[in-house]
């Protein structure tokens, strides 16, 4: 069992408070899409930033929630050096809302395709953990996940994994620019968002997104599978509760089949 490491800091540790907060955030989201998302891009900020940032990505999933069971989570390893990608070795991940089982079959398939199985990068990491309460409230007890941490220079291999993974949804966890003033951040994030919508992986650099290698992999996979990318939200921490002189950028996007 992988226990939560940021409950009580990034989101409430009390189950009732967490449930009420996530339901309020999802209920206030009007993210709408004409097609079911194959993947979403969502920040890994503390939830106090999520009142207006990113939640439309999960809100857009509500019409299709009953079709979602297995979710592949990909995001950066902030604290443990990692080359390539590493799927969790845990049997399940726990949050204050309960236990989420890991899909063994999908994990085994990823391992067969070159992804290692290693719990080390996941133990201190928040980028995938913070996604789970949203998925738990949307999908319920049938939810199965495969968390995968992504290291530098792995976008090509990640693209192949994402394009061919047999899952119902991919969640790419990334923030955008870091610690610029709000005006510089808005300009930088606008350029990054435009590159994301164009599926231009090469135009997104390591300073543009902390989950750059997972994000690049998703953009390449979208191009490989001829899927479109829709921008849902683009803001900074300075638009919510942060210091406008030193902000983090956040974007929400959906990868959908072309009509």
The CATH number of the domain holding residue 220 is 3.40.830.10
Q: What is the DSSP letter of 49?
A: G
- Whether residue 176 is contained in a domain is answered as yes
Our measurement of the distance from residue 257's CA atom to the centroid of its chain's CA atoms, rounded to an integer in Å, reads 19
Residue 120, in any domain of the structure = yes
For residue 117, is it within any domain? yes
Tell me the C-alpha to C-alpha distance, in Å, between residue 141 and each of 162, 169, 196.
Answer: 24, 16, 32
Confidence check: pLDDT of 259 > 70: no
Separation of alpha carbons 97 and 259, rounded Å: 36
Range of the domain at 245: 15-257
Map tokens 């955030």 to a residue: 25
CA distance 203 to 194: 10
Q: How far apart are CA 104 and CA 90, in angstroms?
A: 10
Pairing relationship of beta strands 144-150 and 85-87 according to DSSP bridges: antiparallel
In a domain, 1, yes or no: no
Whether 28 has a pLDDT exceeding 90, the answer reads no
Q: H or E segment at 92? A: strand 92-95
Which of 224, 19, 250 is closest to 132 using CA atoms? 19
| Interacting residues of 179 by C-beta distance below 8 A, sequence separation 6+ | 246, 247, 248
Give CA–CA dist 185/59, Å, rounded: 25
| Counted domains in the chain | 1
Q: Could you report the per-residue pLDDT of 145-169, keeping only the tens digit for each? A: 999 999 997 788 889 888 778 999 9
What's the pTM value of the predicted model, to 2 decimals? 0.96
Per-residue confidence (pLDDT) for residue 153, from 0 to 100: 79
Lowest mean pLDDT: which of 51-65, 136-150, 161-175? 51-65
Could you tell me if residue 3 is inside a domain?
A: no
* pLDDT score of 33: 84
The answer to whether position 148 is within a domain reads yes
Q: Can you tell me which residue has the tokens 């610690």?
A: 179
In a domain, 59, yes or no: yes
Least confident span in 114-123, 134-143, 231-240:
231-240
Look at residue 51 in the predicted model and tell me its pLDDT.
Answer: 63
């Amino acid at each position: 069992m992988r226990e939560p490491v940021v409950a009580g800091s990034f989101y409430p540790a009390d189950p009732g408070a967490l449930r009420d907060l996530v339901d309020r955030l999802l209920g206030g989201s009007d993210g709408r899409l004409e097609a079911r998302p194959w993947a979403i891009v969502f920040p890994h900020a503390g939830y106090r930033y999520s009142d207006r940032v990113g939640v439309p990505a999960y809100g857009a999933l509500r019409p299709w929630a009953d079709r979602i069971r297995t979710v592949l989570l990909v995001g950066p390893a902030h604290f443990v050096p990692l080359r390539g990608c590493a799927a969790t070795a845990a049997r399940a991940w726990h949050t204050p809302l309960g236990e989420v089982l890991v899909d063994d079959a999908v994990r085994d398939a990823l391992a067969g395709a070159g992804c290692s199985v290693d719990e080390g990068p996941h133990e201190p990491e928040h980028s995938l953990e913070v996604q789970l309460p949203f998925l738990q409230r949307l999908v319920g007890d049938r939810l199965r996940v495969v968390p995968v941490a992504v290291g530098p220079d792995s976008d090509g291999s990640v693209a192949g994994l994402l394009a061919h993974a047999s899952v119902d949804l991919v969640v790419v966890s990334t923030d955008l620019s870091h610690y610029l003033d709000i005006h510089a951040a808005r300009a930088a994030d606008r350029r990054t968002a435009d590159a994301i919508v164009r599926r231009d992986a090469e135009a997104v650099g390591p300073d543009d997104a902390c989950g750059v290698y997972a994000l690049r992999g998703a953009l390449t996979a979208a191009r490989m599978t001829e899927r479109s990318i829709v921008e849902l939200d683009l803001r900074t921490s300075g638009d919510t509760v942060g210091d406008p002189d030193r902000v983090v950028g956040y974007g929400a996007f959906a990868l959908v089949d072309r009509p």
